[in-house]
Amino acid sequence: MKKIAVLILLLTATIAQAHTLLMNVINNEDNTVTVVGEFSTGDSAAGALIRFESLLSGEILFKQRLPEDSELTAEIPKEPYQIVLDGGPGHTIVKEGIEPLEGFVKEIKAEVIKTSTKLSQASNLTNEWSNPTIILFILGLLLIILTLYISSKNTNKILKQIKQEG
């Protein structure tokens, strides 16, 4: 019976393993950026959607899915932008875009502050506890309480035996 309980516990812990989408943006110093996406578990983020969104209009300047190697190189837009890596529901990362070598125009930078309502927002559901996590937490807490209770009972029995013998 104990072996079955341990096996079920291990399987549940494996299923409950969380993963977070990660994005690395590399400036290639030639007016291109390389975007690398992966999950914290080491799994590839191939197929996740990369978007460059204008900070001025919210317009999509570039859109492409990550290839098999989860690495994509693209030209840097001439206007301020943000890079969005969309790996599905609850897995969206947003980072500020890198400036081109000649920089963005100063008048355009001032307009960026006015327009930010149309843009994608980062969302990562790792702050929420899934049902298997809650169940395992409660189960662990109950096992700790049970262990303390049994330990206390056994300690009292041992102390009574010592008093009777002495």
Task: State pLDDT tens for residues 78-114.
Answer: 889 999 998 888 788 899 998 888 888 765 555 555 5
Distance CA 70, CA 81 (A): 21
Q: Determine the pLDDT at residue 118.
A: 57
pTM: 0.60
Q: Give the whole-angstrom CA distance, residue 106 versus residue 84.
A: 24
Q: DSSP letter for 129, please.
A: P
Whose CA is closest to 45, among 27, 25, 20?
20
Edge-to-edge strands of the sheet including 91-96?
A: 60-65, 49-54, 81-86, 91-96, 123-124
Q: What's the confidence (pLDDT) of residue 128?
A: 65
Question: How much is the pLDDT for 141?
Answer: 92
Cβ atoms of residues 103 and 76 within 8 Å: no
Distances (CA, A) of 154 to 86, 145, 160, 161, 164: 55, 14, 10, 11, 16
Task: Choose among 51, 124, 36, 110: nearest CA to 81.
Answer: 51
**Phi and psi at residue 106, in whole multiples of 5°?**
-65, -35
> Please, which residues bridge with residue 84 across strands?
51, 94
Task: Tell me: pLDDT of 5 over 80.
Answer: no
State which amino acid sits at residue 50: I
| Residues 29-50, mean pLDDT to the nearest whole number | 89
At residue 138 the predicted structure's pLDDT band, cuts being 50, 70 and 90, is very high
pLDDT, average across residues 49-75: 91
Segment (H or E) for 130: none
For the cut 80, the answer to whether the pLDDT of residue 21 exceeds it is yes
Largest CA distance in the chain: 92
pLDDT at 139 (0 to 100): 93
Most confident of 12-21, 37-46, 60-69: 60-69
User: What whole-number distance in Å separates Cα of residue 38 and Cα of residue 30?
Assistant: 24
pLDDT band at 124 (very low <50, low <70, confident <90, very high): low
| Mean predicted confidence (pLDDT) in 26-55 | 90
Q: Which helix (H) or strand (E) holds 161?
A: helix 131-165
